[in-house]
Amino acid sequence: MEERMAISIGISLVSLVLGAIVRSWFNSLLARIKSLEKDLTSLKENLPKEYVLKDDHDRDIREIKDELKEIRREIHEGFKRLEEKLDKKADKQ
Pair (36, 17) in one structural domain: yes
Calpha distance 61→56 (Å, rounded): 9
Radius of gyration over every alpha carbon of the chain, rounded to an integer in angstroms: 39
Q: From first to last of the 93 residues of the chain, give the pLDDT tens digit.
A: 788 888 888 889 999 999 999 999 999 999 999 999 999 999 988 888 888 889 999 999 999 999 999 999 999 999 999 998 888 877 666
pLDDT the model gives residue 65:
98
**52 — phi, psi (to 5°)?**
-105, 145
Pair (46, 74) in one structural domain: no
Pair (83, 42) in one structural domain: no
Pair (46, 63) in one structural domain: no
Calpha distance 28→17 (Å, rounded): 16
Q: How many domains does the chain fold into?
A: 2
Pair (77, 36) in one structural domain: no
Calpha distance 69→64 (Å, rounded): 9
Pair (71, 92) in one structural domain: yes
pLDDT the model gives residue 79:
95
Range of the domain at 39: 1-51
Q: Where are the beta strands (DSSP E) in 10-70?
A: none
